[in-house]
Chains A and B, each alone.
Chain A
Amino acid sequence: MAAPVKGPGPVKSPGHVVAPGIGGVGDSPLRPDGTLKVAGEFAYASDLWMDGMLWGATLRSPHPRARIRSIDIGPALATPGVHAVLTHEDVPGHKLYGEDHTEDQPVLAIGEVRHQGEPIALVAADHPEIARRAMERIAVDYEVLEPITDARAVIADPERLKVQPRGGIVRHQPVRVGDVDAARAQADVVVIEEFEVGIQDQAFLGPEAGLAIPSEDGGVDLYVSTQWMHNDLSQIAPCLGLDESQVHMTLAGVGGAFGGREDLSVQIHAAMLALHTGKPVKMSYNRYESFFGHVHRHPAQMRYEYGATADGKLVYADVEIILDGGAYTSSTRNVTGNAASLGVGPYEIPNIRIDAYGVYTNNPPCGAMRGFGAVQACFAYESMMDRVAAACGLSPVEFRRRNAVSQGSKLATGQVIESPAPLAEMLARLEAMPMPAACDPSDIRNLPGGASQTTHGEGVVRGVGYGVGIKNICFSEGADDLSTARVRLEVIGGEPAALVHTAAAEVGQGLVTIQAQIARTELGVQKVTIAPADNRVGDAGSSSASRQSYMSGGAVKTACEAVRAELLARAARRYGHGDLTAVGGKIVSRAAGVLGSIEDVLGGDAIEETREYHHRPTTGMDPVTGQGVTHTQLALCVHRAVVDVDVDLGLVKVVEMAAVQDVGKIINRIGVEGQIHGGSAQGLGLAVMEEIVVSGGLVRNPSFTDYLIPTILDMPPMRLDILENPDPDAPYGLRGAGEPPTLSSTPAIVAAVRDATGRALTRVPVRPEHIIQETSG
């Protein structure tokens, strides 16, 4: 075994980044963090290092449900090189925490484990291998219990099938519009189908990691990769028994998130070990542990019944959606709310009955993932649209067009869509896009299965499918959604420079780029620096719900406007003119032209303003009818997928995806294209590859060998058509863009595979056996 680690240098921590280029809103300047990232010098959470630091490790439950009779840490603690072994008894403050204001998740298991991988004990040691070996010496005596894994059974008997004190049903959200039972009589066509969505993993590449350093005020400095620092803080501080002012958080480089960093991972654990040992402690999960270290997308069981008239108008929808949230509450309440409010998608249906359930089980814990409750329902309602279209003898596009919402339409919640929602136009544009060339089987790489193909393509059939999705942007259901920005303008090196400081998490989406663009546009300066995100500035909300361009973009814009107002007030006093603007570093009067420079007005002073931004308020959903103005903004994306399917081998190759998305205003074209590409790829993964396979509450494939995400060979070329119909309530008219493409790509691909194969395909991901089983029998 090695001696204590001799490390390479001082702590490598996030610093200020200067935004390169001169681009404002609408341009695509380089990423401020891009040079560091391509050079391998960007400080991700797992790269952090400090002299004398220890390595933390987490002992996790091998069982989905068991009582813990005893834990013996003695042998582990006696291991040379081990500095601490901690259990729930060592949690200094609250023993429970929760992502959504529900403290039901133990920091470390107390007497019982409720899912495989639940944390039980922590070790700090000189070397990660010492920590791992010590962990194996912790003796836990389990009484293994039969896990509760059938979500539908929980709904039937929630009082008996309780996995935890709150157990049973997390939320049942009904939606009631019109009279479904009476409407059945009007339907010429009725389609009933059941659907399933498997568990998808965010599979961000940067593992959960962080560095905790005891601070001089008795608190802790925490460098972590997260999506929402202030929500972390409100959970961490009570568990550590500290005041929030003693927990000093800085965002470490985030290697992707997609919802999987909304819940805590290493935060409290690393801090506990650091406070206990008085030393810096680093924790970094490996990929196996990561599969147990964060929540996943809820798996869903859904029953849909639609009725339509013979001429293709939907008459009613009767829907049941069951989402399995696992053992703890996490964000299941809001995921269930989304599934209910968006359960029939962007279509006008006069009679609706939806019952959406989120339930507790001993299956893997589920919470936020890109699309957040809207993805599961979208697969089902889009599959239904195809089925009903076929029953009416209409094309998928024509049937959708006849039922599509537009500006002024009502959603299932009764909410009127107040800003543009040109779904029919989007479908027309999508349908008019050129088709890819026919499959050329002379190059084996073009065939499904690629270089692994064993045929000459005799069984390859092409299919085309369409998908439509609608996603709420920003927090819904009455949440007080806010972001805070601090902007400072001063002269540095003879040039006016802006410093933008927020707690908003750059997770890869390019928020730091557009923050700089907004500052340039609003202040008329070129030089912008982005401060590291930390909790020395107010809450920015989460980098989720496609909300940061809107919310933190709005906060930066508002703070810049305040700075500009002060600058121009000073300029007005100096020059005696009132009609001033700041452009290109100059103070310009409409009447008198250029009066001087920002440097002239500021001199050695700085102007600093901090502003909170709130979007227009929403209401909750009525607990009985589901009615309410629950979303602040809605965004549409439509996809067409073209696939080649080898119907003999069950292999699918997605040949092309085309997408039309309305983003209101393109703030950064390269950035928004990247969001649509990446979101579409994750939807492709759910359609044909990605599933955490679970049996008896146990995960069977916690590795990138067995959990497959799309490679560059799986992802086809894309055609994009990005529309800009502004939302008058949003900054610059923009519409959040990150999630909608994740919704609609999945049903489009599955529809294309159905088109090629004629199979019903009611479950995603579609597997080879779903394609070939009905012909081989």
Chain B
Amino acid sequence: MRVNVTVNGSQETVDDVWEGESLLYMLRERMGLPGSKNACEQGECGSCTVYLDGVPACACLVAAGQVEGREVRTVEGLAEGQPGDERLDPVQQAFLETGAVQCGFCTPGLIVQSHDLIERNPAPSDAEIREALAGNLCRCTGYEKILDAVRLAARRKAAHT
């Protein structure tokens, strides 16, 4: 089937999509956007979190056909500018600086989820950060530096608004 979808601000037409494919598969294998990760493919780990019409969703749980006519924003769409010369989003920059990234496989999903949290709640408490990120598994960091990253990103975003 054919899927028409806006991804990271660009209108795309994807052909030959099999009906059983997920949004995650379509992004990763048909659109050259492997940033959203395939850690569990059952909605438990949050590694594939993307914005779907502005709301975070696990791309593995969304059928590709369901995004017809809709808008998707992935981790690749958060930085401004061109690849190689991009300005990272403050959430991305904070994850990088605080040591919130080790293997990095959970990072794209956590960044999208944290980005959404700070959009909704510019000054989240630790309890609110923990609640917002409870659906994103990380196996490397023990989450301490992820909390540091979200606090830092929130402070910086607040300072720039």
Contact = CB atoms under 8 A, between A and B. Distances in A.
Interface in A95-129: 127, 129
Contact of B35 (A35, A40, A508, A712): A40
Contact of A677 (B15, B29, B111, B141): B141
Interface residues of B, number: 66
B39 A287 contact: yes
Interface string B127-149: 10111011111111111111100
A8 B142 contact: no
A265 interface: no
A43 B97 CA distance: 20
A406 interface: no
Given A6-B16, A38-B96, A46-B38, A712 B130 contact: yes
A254 B103 contact: yes
Contacts of B135: 711
Contacts of B134: 711-713
5 contacts: A37-B107, A40-B75, A49-B32, A670-B145, A704-B40
B88 A28 contact: no
A136 B29 CA distance: 23
A705 B44 contact: yes
B146 A712 contact: yes
B111 A680 contact: no
A507 B42 CA distance: 24
B30 interface: yes
Contacts of A710: 142-143
A203 B142 contact: no
A204 B103 contact: yes
B153 to A, nearest CB: 11
A718 B144 contact: yes
A604 interface: no
B29 A7 contact: yes
From B35, B40, B127, B142, residue with most partner A Cβ within 10 Å: B142
B112 to A, nearest CB: 9
B30 A673 contact: no
A445 B44 contact: no
B105 A256 contact: yes
Query: Could you say which of B44, B97, B98, B139 has the most chain A C-beta atoms within 10 Å of its C-beta?
Result: B139
Contacts of A671: 99
Given A40-B33, A205-B39, A712-B147, 4 more contacts: A255-B39, A287-B41, A678-B102, A713-B130
A9 B98 CA distance: 33
B38 to A, nearest CB: 6
Contacts of A47: 28, 34
A: contact size bracket: 35 or more
Given A8-B30, A712-B133, A258 B96 contact: no
A670 B98 contact: yes
B9 interface: no
Interface in B4-21: 15-18, 20-21
Interface of A: 1-3, 5-9, 12, 28, 30-31, 33-35, 37-44, 46-47, 49, 127, 129, 202-207, 253-258, 284, 286-287, 443, 445, 451, 507-510, 670-671, 673-674, 677-682, 703-705, 709-713, 715, 717-718
Nearest to B98: A670
Interface of B: 15-18, 20-21, 28-42, 44-45, 47, 74-76, 79, 83, 86, 88, 92-93, 95-99, 101-108, 111, 127, 129-131, 133-147
Contacts of B40: 205, 286-287, 703-704
A319 B41 CA distance: 43
Contacts of B16: 2-3, 5-6
B140 A256 contact: yes
Contacts of A286: 38, 40-41
Q: Could you tell me the dominant secondary structure of chain B's interface residues?
A: loop
A255 B103 contact: yes
Given A41-B76, A287-B39, A718-B142, A31 B137 contact: no
Contacts of B137: 205, 704, 709, 711
B27 to A, nearest CB: 10
Contacts of B98: 670
Given A205-B39, A205-B137, A510-B102, A40 B76 contact: yes
Contact of A12 (B15, B34, B37): B34
Contacts of B42: 287, 703-705
A248 B78 CA distance: 36
A34 to B, nearest CB: 4
Contacts of B131: 445, 451, 713
Contact of B18 (A44, A129, A717): A129
Central interface residue in A37, A41, A286, A682, by most chain B CB within 10 Å: A37
A35 B93 CA distance: 8
Contact of B139 (A40, A127, A204, A443): A204
A712 B93 CA distance: 20
B99 A38 contact: no
Given A38-B95, A287-B39, A704 B142 contact: no
B144 to A, nearest CB: 5
Nearest to A127: B18
Nearest to A705: B44
A542 B64 CA distance: 40
A57 to B, nearest CB: 15
**Ranked 9 nearest A-B pairs via Cβ:** A40-B35, A8-B32, A508-B103, A677-B142, A37-B104, A255-B105, A2-B18, A681-B142, A40-B75
Nearest to B14: A6
B89 to A, nearest CB: 9
Nearest to A451: B131
A680 B144 CA distance: 11
A205 B96 contact: no
Contact of B75 (A34, A39, A709, A715): A39
A204 B47 CA distance: 12
A552 B96 CA distance: 24
A206 B79 CA distance: 23
Given A670-B145, A703-B42, A508 B104 contact: yes
B105 A205 contact: yes
Contact of A38 (B44, B101, B146): B101
B147 A206 contact: no
Contacts of B99: 28, 670-671, 673-674
B131 to A, nearest CB: 7
Contacts of B28: 47
B104 A33 contact: yes
Given A286-B41, A711-B137, A38 B144 contact: no
B40 to A, nearest CB: 4
A256 B76 contact: no
Contacts of A39: 35, 75-76, 79, 83, 86, 88, 92
A38 B32 CA distance: 17
Nearest to B20: A129
A704 B111 contact: no
Nearest to B75: A40
B103 A507 contact: yes
Contacts of A674: 99, 102, 140-142, 145
A3 to B, nearest CB: 5
B142 A715 contact: yes
B38 A284 contact: yes
A458 to B, nearest CB: 22
Contacts of A33: 104
Given A35-B88, A287-B39, A704-B137, A206 B103 contact: yes
